[in-house]
Amino acid sequence: MLLLLAMLTWLPGTLPLAGSKWPMVAIVVLLFPIFGAALVRILLSGADRHSMWLAFRCLPGRLQAVLGALAVSGVLVMLLSTAGAGTLQSPEIKDGRYFAFDTASHARGTIEVSHSEYEAILESDQRSMFAIPGMLFTGAAYAVFAAGQLRRADLGFRSP
């Protein structure tokens, strides 16, 4: 869902939830426990990266395809987003004027920007805000499914 929202930022106009902070709060509140649980599950399995990859390869083909498509789309969104992004980030409105933080080494600081630049920077920030956690959730799903496959293989190996 997050990767879809990241892709929707390329459509004309801004997303309706551009000004609200609750999406980021919800992402953070969900991301840390889910990603943490996935990491714990990997650590408890005691498997190395090669074993995890082999376990992933034993998953059903459709699941592999979905996880692969999510990972590739997340990487593409980030690459396309960073390729088109300039040195401006963190847009804000103060007293009816639009500002952004310029990260260029020679002009580091907050500068005033036009309304159209403000919207472009806002969309770029939203794209990153949705794409990065989307890729982390995809990685967590990969870890959980692969660790589950390893556990299933271990249980099948132990039973007579």
In this prediction, residue 79 carries a pLDDT of 84
Domain ranges for the chain, please list them. 2-10+19-84+127-158
Residues forming beta bridges with residue 88, ordered by sequence position: 102
pLDDT (tens, 9 = 90+) of the chain, 160 residues, equals: 787 777 777 777 666 665 667 777 888 898 889 989 988 988 888 888 898 899 999 999 999 999 999 999 888 888 887 766 677 777 788 888 888 888 776 767 788 888 888 877 777 777 888 888 888 899 999 999 999 888 887 776 665 5
In this prediction, residue 160 carries a pLDDT of 54
Please say whether the dihedral angle defined by the alpha carbons of residues 76, 105, 109 and 107, taken in this order, is positive or negative. negative
CA angle 23, 120, 31 (to 5 degrees): 25
In this prediction, residue 108 carries a pLDDT of 77
Sheet containing strand 97-102, edge to edge, reads: 88-94, 97-102, 109-113
In this prediction, residue 66 carries a pLDDT of 93
